[in-house]
Structure formats: C-alpha cells, structure tokens
C-alpha cells in the first residue's frame, strides 16, 4: 500500500505575525452522536500545520534528508513523470501545481526547480518529516491513532496529565507553573490571569457587538448565519454553544475527538464552565478526562509563605487530594493530627495564596486552631475583594489593600454536592459574578458614544454595564439581580427569544427552565409558507377572540404531498407518499430521517433506535408499533 502524506501550504506566509505552513489535511466524513444523542453526519476538513511562534524558529526548513534523491523539473519531464505520479509519491501540492505549470508552458525559469523523491516513511519538500508509526499509515490513520490511544484519566492506573496546548499570545500568570491559559478562557467573563487580567482585555467590545438582521447573536456577542441557529443537527455553531437548545449534552469523549465540536468550542457561561482544554466542559474541580483539573488543584497547592505543615493541613481539608508529600490525608483525620498541623498556621493567613476567583477574591482565615469542628476548619472567616470592582458589596473591614466581608454574611452554600470546598467556590463565583471585570471598569460610559450606550444596561446600585442581551438569561450579572427581571426581557424585541403568550416575558436561549405556561414556549414570528401544515406544530398564535391556533390548524384539506413536503426526509402523509421515489436522502445508510421533538428540525436516527420503546422523533414516528 502506498501511503500518501501530501503537504499543503508549503510556502511560509507571514500574515499579521501569524506563521502557518506545511499543512496536512485530515478529512472526516462519518456519523457520530450529536448533543441530543441522535445521529449527526460530520463532514469536516481539518488542517494540521506547523505554527512556530516566530520566524527564527523555522530555520529547520533548510534540513534535507541525505537519503533522498533529487531531480529537476526538466529531468522529470524527460522521464515522462506526470503530476498524478508526483501526487502518488506524496509530493507537496504546491510543488505539483508548479510542475504542472512547467509542463503546460515549458517555463525555463522553472526547469531547475528541485523535486525530492522521498522514501517511506519520509515526506515533505525536502523529505524532512516522518511519523513514528507504520510506513503505510495515511494522515487519517495517524490522527485517529493519536487520539484513540489517549486514555481517560478516570481509567488510567497512573496519574498522567496529557500534554495540552497553551495560549501563548497573552502573557498570563495563573498562580504557578502548572496551569497555563487555554484559549477558551479568553473573554469568558472571568479573569484567569491573576497578574494583569489580560485575558479579558478588550472583551467588552463584544458586549457592544450587534448582528445583522439575517444573523443570530451568540451569547458571547459573536454572530452566525441565522439558518445555523437551532438547525437541529446537534452540533453547535456558536463558539460558546449558545445557539442550540439549553439542555444540550456535552460530548464526554473530546479527549479522543479531533472534530470541530470539541476543538473549536468553548464552554457556556451558566453551567459546566471549566474548560478541560480539549472541548470537554466540567464544573470547577470536577474531573476532566485529560486530567487538566489536576493542574487547577496543583495551582491551589502553591505554598508561598505558608509553612509546610499548614499547607498540608489546608490542602487535606479541601478534600481535593488524597495525599500530599507522602502523607495520606485520611490518616490525619482518623487520629486528629490535622489539629496539630494547623497550629503551625499564622493567626491570620490567606489560603490558597492565589485568588479563588477572578484576580482579587481571596479567602482569609483567623485563629483557625481555635475552631472545634473539623468541618468548619476549611470555611474562611473572611472573603476579601477589590472594593472598586465590587462597588455594591458592603465591607466589614480592610486587610492590607483588600476590602473584606465576614463569610457569615455571604451565606456560603456548603451542602449542595457534599463537598464543602467545591460548594464554597461555586457560591463565591455566583456571589461575586456581579463585580466589574477589571478592564470593564476602565471602559465606562464616557468612553463610548451615546448611540452605543443604548445597547447597554446599567446595574442598579452599581457602575457595572452589561449588554442588554444578558438580561433574563439565568446568569445574575448585577448585585441586585435586577438583570434577571423578566419585565425587562422583551426590550430587545429579539426574534430569537422565546416570547410567552400571556405575559411580557422573553426567554434567552440559555434558559434551562420552562418559564412559560404549558404549550406556550413557542416563537412568535412570521411563518414561512413551507412550514404551514407540514406535520409539526412550531408556532402558536391567538386571534382577536383569544382563540389559539397553530401553523397546523385546519389542515384537513391541505394536500400532504406537495412541492414543499416531497423528499424532505419526513413523512408528511400518513402513508409516506411524499417520500416515495426520491433520488436523494439527507441521511446515510442505516439511518432514517425524522423530526427532532426538541427543536423540530431534521435529524438522522440510527436504525437501532427505531421501535426501541423510546420516542426519538416528533409524533413517535420511530415508534410506529405504539401509534
């Protein structure tokens, strides 16, 4: 078998200081389970390129494999070598195209252009690359093998943190040498770089961004074509996945999945918002398959000025680890040794030494050795913050350059998951979400034109500004929770919000709860003619007398077999007449087209899920035995 590893884009092009060249293209065309666990056809072309940080790092391009034979274009022509043969020999596409130009015009300036005849497993312009796999492996084999051999942290017998990419275009201090910045943590609404907060610099401009009439505005402010909004194909098109319905199920296999749904997506802001670095999103401190959560725990274990014994005691009290420095935490609690260790903590100390949230929220402990119950030891006495950024939170006292509040005034939740530390952190993140982002603080009203300010909402009793698109989205962005007032939710007149019929309430796409009365969760908008009497209730309206109609009302005499219903993959006629004699089908073999009951769009259902007792299609089309 002749393995083909054909390079694209072999010319180094410097575009806005971005270097990218020598690309191998991985084509994937397969069927995978989408977010709603229904079949989805994936057809993607993924480039794997060399991307050095600067031009000085590409000097290796002068490397030539001494075992390779080189021939000029003229020698190739004399030997009657065709471009098809060059492609079969894994010749870079740019060189093949240049050779074809030479054959067409016999351009003498190209006659001495060199072709390097590589022997397997070598490939490239100068035969400078090879993979540590079988000689007969294609790029498809290489990529799939590389991802398939990855073992989940949960299944591994040893603690192995997989190598993860770091976003290096921003100088970022994560509080230690372990955890680096993932690109998904840029402009995610929380400061992850504790030094200067550069990961949130200029992100406020996204709050101001508005989309065109034929576009859908993602929750993060980016825009996608409107036809991609809840298009029913399961995989999200918004970077933050906010275009698909709220109860989306994240794929858990991203550590073994190279496709766009993992590699090119960030986490939603209202739940499971810790990025594992490969597309998987978990709640903070929950386990990532690739082990990135361990790096987060290691950053918390940064010793700083704490004594060894104090650090050991506090880390064990978090219950995030089982062992530290050879000491098993369980034994500390069994023989009450933890009380001896905490005596070595200062009367007032900070733990962890890095902020627990954003770049200024910190835990402060006072006279911890005087506490009696071990369950209370890990609960901080005070939570300290930057008063300038949290201008609506009343302080208790000042500690160094921070403003602090007694933790008892925050009513920290410690009984949600049974894990006190995790519950506290989640409570803190929720409570201080209303604080101003550092860079937002210096981009206040007077920095923007008046026509821009109409796009913003100013929180009550605060100088914080948010996009009006964040109103009533299940994220409390204001300290008075006034942004979640449903009376304000219809001010945008957005056609992409769910309008409740009997009240002035418009739900955001991020809503996970059905806040409209029963049967009213439908969008009021103009009906496309092709949607009328197509077999699915998508729109609800009231006439002047208050009688409710849908787009499927009074369809008894509507012909089911028409130009809009024919061969669309959905049985509009009870006997399926509209799907007979179709030359093409939108689904691959062993799958059947039907309409999703979640968002009324066309999906491809696996044959294994037909007549399995579970209604996967609208109207139980897949369960004809029970109809």
pLDDT over threshold 70, residue 487: yes
Please, which pLDDT band fits residue 56 given cuts at 50, 70 and 90? low
Please, which pLDDT band fits residue 229 given cuts at 50, 70 and 90? confident
Averaged pLDDT, 583-604: 73
Boundary residue ending a domain (486, 507, 528): 507
In this structure, the answer to whether residues 97 and 123 fall within a common structural domain is: yes
In this structure, the answer to whether residues 165 and 93 fall within a common structural domain is: no
In this structure, the answer to whether residues 430 and 474 fall within a common structural domain is: no
DSSP 367-385: SGGG---HHHHTS-SEEEE
What is the extent of the structural domain holding 402?
301-434
Q: Which residues of 244-265 are buried (b: 16+ CB within 10 A; e: fewer)?
A: bbbebebbebbbbbbbbbbeeb
DSSP 413-436: ---SSS-HHHHHHHHHHHHGGGSP
Say which residues have a Cβ less than 8 Å from residue 27's Cβ, sequence separation at least 6: 44, 45, 46, 140
pLDDT over threshold 50, residue 244: yes
Spatial distance between the Cα atoms of 20 and 287, rounded to a whole number of angstroms: 33
Boundary residue ending a domain (300, 316, 338): 300
pLDDT over threshold 70, residue 196: yes
Q: What is the dihedral of CA 372, 375, 378, 381, to 10 degrees?
A: -60
In this structure, the answer to whether residues 307 and 190 fall within a common structural domain is: no
Spatial distance between the Cα atoms of 588 and 605, rounded to a whole number of angstroms: 10
Is residue 496 in a domain? yes
In this structure, the answer to whether residues 372 and 450 fall within a common structural domain is: no
The owner of tokens 């496309």 is 528
Q: In this structure, are residues 417 and 372 in contact, taking their beta carbons and an 8 Å threshold?
A: no
- Tens-digit pLDDT profile for residues 410-431: 887 776 677 889 899 989 988 9
In this structure, the answer to whether residues 474 and 497 fall within a common structural domain is: yes
Boundary residue ending a domain (276, 300, 324): 300
- Tens-digit pLDDT profile for residues 129-149: 888 776 778 899 999 888 888
Q: What pLDDT sits at residue 451?
A: 61
DSSP 152-166: -TTT-SS--PPP---
In this structure, the answer to whether residues 24 and 76 fall within a common structural domain is: yes
pLDDT over threshold 60, residue 309: yes
In this structure, the answer to whether residues 177 and 251 fall within a common structural domain is: yes
Is residue 419 in a domain? yes
Q: Which of 444-448, 495-499, 544-548 has the highest mean pLDDT?
A: 495-499
pLDDT over threshold 80, residue 482: yes
Averaged pLDDT, 229-248: 70
In this structure, the answer to whether residues 22 and 115 fall within a common structural domain is: yes
Please, which pLDDT band fits residue 609 given cuts at 50, 70 and 90? confident
DSSP 225-275: EGGGTT-SSSS--STTSTTS-TTPPPPS-GGG--SHHHHT----SSSS-EE
pLDDT over threshold 90, residue 120: no
pTM higher than the cut 0.85: no
Q: What is the percent of the chain where pLDDT is above 90?
A: 27
Q: In this structure, are residues 68 and 116 in contact, taking their beta carbons and an 8 Å threshold?
A: yes
Q: What pLDDT sits at residue 272?
A: 62
Lowest-pLDDT choice from 30-44, 252-266, 341-355, 463-477: 30-44
Q: What pLDDT sits at residue 544?
A: 45
Please, which pLDDT band fits residue 380 given cuts at 50, 70 and 90? very high
Q: Which of 54-63, 360-369, 603-612 has the highest mean pLDDT?
A: 360-369
Structural domains counted in the chain: 4
Is residue 205 in a domain? yes
In this structure, the answer to whether residues 334 and 282 fall within a common structural domain is: no
Phi then psi for residue 471, to 5 deg, are: -75, 130
Is residue 561 in a domain? no
Which tokens is 625 given? 């035995």
Q: What pLDDT sits at residue 523?
A: 44
Q: What pLDDT sits at residue 354?
A: 93
**Cβ neighbours, 10 Å, residue 559:** 12
Averaged pLDDT, 166-186: 88
Q: What pLDDT sits at residue 64?
A: 63
In this structure, the answer to whether residues 171 and 121 fall within a common structural domain is: no
Q: What pLDDT sits at residue 61?
A: 53
Spatial distance between the Cα atoms of 471 and 506, rounded to a whole number of angstroms: 10
In this structure, the answer to whether residues 296 and 307 fall within a common structural domain is: no
């Amino acid at each position: 078998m002749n393995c083909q590893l054909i390079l694209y884009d072999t010319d180094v092009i410097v575009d806005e200081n971005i270097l990218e060249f020598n690309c191998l293209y991985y084509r994937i065309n397969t069927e995978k389970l989408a977010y709603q666990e229904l079949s989805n056809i994936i057809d993607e072309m993924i480039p794997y390129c060399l991307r050095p940080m600067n031009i000085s790092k590409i000097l290796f391009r002068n490397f030539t494999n001494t075992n390779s034979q080189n021939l000029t274009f003229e020698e190739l022509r004399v030997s009657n070598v065709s471009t098809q043969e060059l492609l079969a020999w894994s010749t870079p596409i740019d060189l093949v195209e240049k050779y074809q130009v030479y054959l067409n015009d016999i351009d003498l300036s190209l006659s001495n252009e060199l072709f390097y005849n590589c022997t397997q497993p070598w490939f490239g312009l100068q035969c400078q690359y090879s993979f540590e796999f079988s000689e007969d492996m294609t790029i498809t084999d290489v990529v799939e093998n590389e991802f398939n051999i990855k073992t989940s942290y949960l299944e591994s017998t040893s603690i192995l943190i997989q190598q993860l990419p770091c976003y290096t275009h921003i100088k970022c201090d994560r509080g230690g040498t372990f955890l680096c910045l993932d690109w998904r943590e840029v402009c995610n609404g929380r400061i992850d770089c504790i030094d200067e907060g550069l990961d949130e610099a200029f992100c406020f401009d996204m709050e101001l961004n508005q989309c065109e009439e034929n576009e859908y505005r993602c929750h993060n402010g980016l825009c996608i074509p409107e036809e991609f909004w809840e298009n029913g194909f399961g995989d999200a098109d918004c970077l933050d996945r906010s275009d698909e319905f709220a109860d989306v199920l994240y794929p858990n296999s991203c550590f073994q999945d190279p496709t766009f749904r993992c590699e090119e997506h960030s986490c939603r802001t209202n739940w499971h918002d810790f990025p594992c670095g490969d597309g998987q999103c978990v709640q903070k401190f929950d386990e990532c398959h690739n082990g990135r959560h361990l790096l987060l725990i290691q950053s918390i274990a940064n010793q700083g000025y704490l004594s060894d014994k104090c650090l050991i005691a506090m880390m064990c009290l978090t219950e995030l680890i089982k062992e530290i420095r050879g000491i098993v935490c369980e034994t500390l609690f069994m023989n009450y040794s933890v009380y001896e260790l905490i005596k070595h903590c200062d009367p007032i100390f900070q733990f962890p030494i890095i902020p627990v949230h954003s770049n200024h929220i910190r835990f402060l402990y006072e006279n911890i050795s005087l506490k009696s119950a071990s369950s209370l030891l890990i609960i901080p006495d005070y939570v300290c913050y930057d008063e300038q950024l949290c201008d609506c939170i009343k302080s208790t006292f000042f500690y160094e350059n921070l403003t602090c509040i007694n933790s008892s005034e925050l009513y920290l939740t410690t009984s949600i998951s049974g894990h006190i530390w995790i519950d506290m952190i989640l409570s803190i993140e929720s409570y201080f979400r209303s604080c101003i982002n550092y860079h937002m603080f210096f981009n206040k009203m007077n920095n923007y034109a008046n026509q821009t300010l109409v796009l913003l909402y100013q929180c009550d009793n605060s100088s914080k500004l948010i996009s009006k698109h964040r109103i009533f989205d299940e994220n409390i962005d204001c300290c008075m929770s006034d942004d979640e007032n449903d009376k304000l939710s219809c001010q945008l007149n957005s056609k992409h919000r769910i309008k409740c019929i009997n009240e002035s309430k418009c739900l955001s796409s991020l809503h996970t709860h059905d806040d409209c009365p029963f049967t009213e969760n439908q969008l009021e908008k103009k009906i496309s003619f092709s949607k009328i009497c197509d077999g699915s209730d998508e729109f609800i309206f009231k006439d002047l007398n208050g009688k409710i109609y849908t787009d499927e009302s009074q369809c008894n005499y509507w012909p089911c077999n028409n130009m809009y219903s024919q061969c669309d993959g959905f049985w509009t006629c009870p006997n399926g007449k509209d799907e007979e004699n179709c030359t093409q089908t939108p689904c691959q073999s062993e799958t059947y087209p039907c309409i999703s009951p979640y968002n009324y769009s066309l999906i491809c259902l696996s044959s294994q899920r037909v007549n399995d007792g579970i209604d996967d299609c609208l109207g139980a089309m897949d369960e004809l035995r029970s109809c």
